[in-house]
């Protein structure tokens, strides 16, 4: 038996129906053959122009870009589908830092961080992140995903508990379930439920560790937790707090300190982890702690740091340089500009009839709901030269599809004001087409 990659498109498959949940648990002894129905469903969506994933860039990910889709079709237009919140990917100082690192230390770390994979640049980067976060000890990871996953599996054992926001990122969810079966998920941002879970654990078990996990700015809802209240609850009841600052560090807050700075919690949260891929123009991530024993432990037991090669010297140099910009007057100006763009586009949506979720930030969430509408609307937008990402299950719940536009400090106000009604009109046209 073979998988379905070269079979003709099955005309009985409706590309507007179904979602990834339908194919998540295929049955049968042949692991390869049972992938076929999923692939047939994707083929039907591809053929109808309703598979907006797996695009490749043909140009830098700036506010205007060019990409091709899987069928080789060229897409061009205003780009809200790349993550480069301060626009540092095109900054000359970043390019120079990368070239210098390539020249001085080569293209490749050639080892994991627990062996010989660190470089003087990664050590400098650890110090600079610690300085920004007011946390002395920092451990780098080759990806942000690894930082989330590895931080949890490095600290939590099967007899411990993880209390997790049900909308936390996949790396946190998967890290939690890999570490322990004792995962207690709570309703999004529900601080009372966090308390209830911790109290229930403590009633029966005084010895287990309890890790409470949240995000500084939620990536598909653009909302934020009350960090002080969460940290106080953890301290009061003997739990530990981990905050993932992937989307806010660098892009928001005084000095780029993200929600920690905005909420006056800098240096006051137990554990902070983040990713470099949104604001710092590179892959990679980190865990920060005030305790050396924590980073020692996660370096040795958090498999994504231990058994994976370290950040390359170029990535370390890029992030180090990006941090310098983030903390400078130029960084302040870029953040002001980013917020201005975020507010302008949200206002544009509001005027055109859709209220974006969450708070103003680089993440602009446009709720849609029905997956079929979202698919047709995305196709409409390609025809209107606007590139956005559309999210369906498993990134969000079934029936809660949405666009996530990611704005950059380098977007133009007029560009985003013009794009908002185009997006709204594309959604409305999709609703009308599906209603007839």
Ligand X SMILES: Cc1ncc(COP(=O)(O)O)c(C=O)c1O
Question: Which residues sit at the interface with ligand X, rule CB under 6 A?
Answer: 143-145, 148, 169, 171, 215, 219, 244, 246-247, 275, 277, 283, 285
Residue nearest to ligand X (CB): 144
In the complex, minimum distance from the CB of residue 247 to ligand X, in angstroms, rounded to a whole number? 6
In the complex, minimum distance from the CB of residue 248 to ligand X, in angstroms, rounded to a whole number? 9
Q: How far apart are CA 140 and CA 275, in angstroms?
A: 10
Give the count of beta carbons closer than 10 Å to the beta carbon of residue 166.
13
The total number of residues written for the chain in this structure: 436
In the complex, minimum distance from the CB of residue 172 to ligand X, in angstroms, rounded to a whole number? 7
Residue 188 is given by DSSP the state T
Q: How far apart are CA 277 and CA 129, in angstroms?
A: 15
Give the count of beta carbons closer than 10 Å to the beta carbon of residue 369.
13
| Six token digits for residue 263 | 């909420």
Q: By CB neighbour count within 10 A (0-12 exposed, 13-18 middle, 19+ buried), where does 155 fall?
A: buried
Report the chain's terminal Cα–Cα distance, integer Å.
Answer: 41
Q: In terms of CB distance, is 282 or 415 closer to ligand X? A: 282
In the complex, minimum distance from the CB of residue 258 to ligand X, in angstroms, rounded to a whole number? 12
Q: In terms of CB distance, is 219 or 295 closer to ligand X? A: 219
Q: In terms of CB distance, is 249 or 356 closer to ligand X? A: 249
In the complex, minimum distance from the CB of residue 372 to ligand X, in angstroms, rounded to a whole number? 26
Handedness of CA 39, 41, 42, 43 (dihedral sign): positive
In the complex, minimum distance from the CB of residue 147 to ligand X, in angstroms, rounded to a whole number? 7
Q: In terms of CB distance, is 283 or 321 closer to ligand X? A: 283
Q: In terms of CB distance, is 316 or 420 closer to ligand X? A: 316
Q: In terms of CB distance, is 220 or 294 closer to ligand X? A: 220
| Six token digits for residue 163 | 């209390």
- Side-chain-side CA neighbours of 42 within 13 Å: the count stands at 16
| Six token digits for residue 200 | 């229930």
Q: How far apart are CA 282 and CA 255, in angstroms?
A: 20
């Amino acid at each position: 038996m073979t998988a379905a990659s070269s079979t003709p498109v099955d005309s009985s498959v409706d590309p507007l129906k179904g979602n990834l949940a339908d194919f998540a648990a295929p049955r049968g002894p042949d692991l390869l053959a049972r992938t076929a129905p999923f692939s047939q469903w994707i083929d039907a969506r591809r053929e109808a122009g309703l598979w907006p994933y797996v695009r490749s860039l043909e140009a830098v990910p700036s506010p205007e870009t060019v990409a091709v889709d899987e069928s080789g079709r060229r897409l061009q237009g205003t780009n809200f589908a790349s993550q480069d919140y301060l626009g540092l990917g095109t900054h000359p100082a970043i390019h120079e830092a990368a070239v210098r690192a390539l020249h001085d230390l080569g293209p490749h770390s050639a080892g994991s961080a627990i062996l010989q994979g660190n470089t003087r640049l990664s050590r400098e980067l650890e110090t600079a992140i610690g300085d920004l976060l007011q946390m002395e000890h920092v451990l780098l990871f080759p990806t942000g995903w690894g930082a989330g996953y590895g931080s949890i599996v490095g600290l939590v054992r099967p007899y411990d508990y993880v209390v997790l926001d049900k909308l936390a990122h996949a790396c946190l969810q998967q890290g939690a379930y890999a570490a322990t079966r004792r995962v207690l998920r709570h309703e999004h941002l529900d601080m009372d439920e966090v308390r209830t879970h911790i109290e229930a654990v403590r009633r029966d078990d005084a010895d287990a560790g309890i890790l409470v996990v949240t995000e500084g700015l939620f990536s598909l809802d653009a909302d934020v937790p009350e960090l002080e209240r969460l940290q106080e609850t953890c301290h009061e009841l003997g739990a530990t707090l981990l905050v993932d600052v992937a989307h806010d560090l660098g892009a928001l807050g005084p000095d780029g300190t993200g929600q920690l700075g905005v909420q006056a919690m800098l240096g006051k949260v137990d554990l902070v982890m983040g990713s470099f891929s949104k604001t710092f123009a590179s892959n990679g991530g980190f865990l920060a702690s005030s305790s050396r024993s924590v980073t020692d432990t996660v370096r040795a037991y958090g498999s994504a740091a231990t058994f994976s090669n370290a950040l390359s010297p170029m990535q370390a140099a890029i992030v180090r340089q990006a941090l310098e910009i983030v903390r400078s007057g130029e960084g302040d100006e870029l953040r002001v500009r980013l917020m201005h763009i975020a507010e302008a586009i949200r206002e544009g949506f509001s005027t055109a009839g859709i209220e974006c979720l969450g708070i103003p930030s680089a993440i602009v969430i446009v709720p849609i709901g029905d997956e079929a509408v979202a698919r047709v609307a995305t196709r409409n937008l390609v025809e209107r030269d606007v590139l956005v990402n559309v999210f369906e299950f498993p990134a969000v719940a079934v029936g809660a599809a949405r666009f996530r536009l990611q704005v950059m400090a380098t977007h133009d106000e007029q560009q985003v004001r013009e794009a908002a009604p185009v997006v709204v009109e594309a959604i409305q046209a999709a609703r009308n087409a599906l209603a007839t």
